[in-house]
Amino acid sequence: DVKVTQSSRYLVKRTGEKVFLECVQDMDHENMFWYRQDPGLGLRLIYFSYDVKMKEKGDIPEGYSVSREKKERFSLILESASTNQTSMYLCASSFGQPSYEQYFGPGTRLTVT
């Protein structure tokens, strides 16, 4: 079974804090993705990575950065958290070809106060 794990299910941070969200997959997938999910807006792609140390901006990269130092791990970084970054964050991974489905982690519900 494919396993995508995220470091926390729930996280509460203060405005201005630096926040790290970690994601690990165990299926040797080339691609990894970070989404945020908000009511009425569906899933929006923040960043994705197609290889170690490689990254591409998604639809809403502002205020975020990412790091992929190892193939199995993809980190999302909020340099200075703001209240409008309160959201559900979902990590996913897949093989490289477009025909392959993405496998999702359980999500991290981040609240910034």
Partner 1 sequence: AQKVTQAQTEISVVEKEDVTLDCVYETRDTTYYLFWYKQPPSGELVFLIRRNSFDEQNEISGRYSWNFQKSTSSFNFTITASQVVDSAVYFCALSEARSGYSTLTFGKGTMLLVSP
Binding status of residue 10 toward partner 1 by CB under 8 A: no
**Residues comprising the chain, all counted:** 113
Which tokens in the block code for residue 14?
Answer: 């203060």
Kindly state whether residue 66 participates in binding partner 1, applying the rule CB under 8 A: no
Minimum distance between the CB of residue 82 and partner 1, rounded to whole angstroms?
A: 23
Contact stretch for partner 1 (CB under 8 A) within 19-27, 38-46, 62-70, 74-82: 38-46
The answer to whether the CB of 110 falls within 8 A of the CB of 11 is yes
Q: Of 46-65, which residues contact partner 1 (CB under 8 A)?
A: 48, 50, 56, 58
Stated as kind and residue range, the H or E segment containing 104 is strand 103-104
